[in-house]
Amino acid sequence: MVIEIRTTPAADVAKEPLFTLNGTTYEIPSVIGAEIALQALERFRSEAELAVIAWMMETVLGKDAWKALRNAEGLHPADLAAVIEAVREKTMAVIEDQGKS
């Protein structure tokens, strides 16, 4: 048996809003590519958890949203934690959901 794999060009990926910061809404892909989850798994093998989370945040949010979040003066820890958890859940869902079918 051969498994045929098809990919979706990044430009064709649907987006959804994740957070609003000072009136600007930042979006992430509606579905995070499995390649991102696999890269995260590989990084977890050799890097500290916080380093992998930082990589996931920048990768999933994109450079503009990541920079805006990093530079947001007065960012509340609970808001940051909510964004981190949303990114982590969405990124790893592609792998974690496999056992739930």
Q: Please check whether residue 5 lies inside any domain of the structure.
A: no
pLDDT above 80: residue 8: no
Distance CA 11, CA 13 (A): 6
Chain Cα centroid distance, residue 46: 19
Q: Please check whether residue 87 lies inside any domain of the structure.
A: yes
Q: Please check whether residue 9 lies inside any domain of the structure.
A: no
Q: Please check whether residue 32 lies inside any domain of the structure.
A: yes
* % residues pLDDT > 90 (the chain): 74
In terms of residue numbers, what domain contains 32? 14-100
Q: Please check whether residue 74 lies inside any domain of the structure.
A: yes
Question: How does pLDDT run across 54-90, given as a tens digit for each residue?
Answer: 999 999 999 999 999 999 999 999 999 999 999 999 9
Distance CA 22, CA 20 (A): 7
Q: Please check whether residue 69 lies inside any domain of the structure.
A: yes
Reported in sequence order, the residue ranges of 30-90 that DSSP labels E, i.e. its strands, are: none
Structural domain tally of the chain?
Answer: 1
The answer to whether residues 36 and 91 touch, using CB atoms and an 8 Å cutoff, is yes
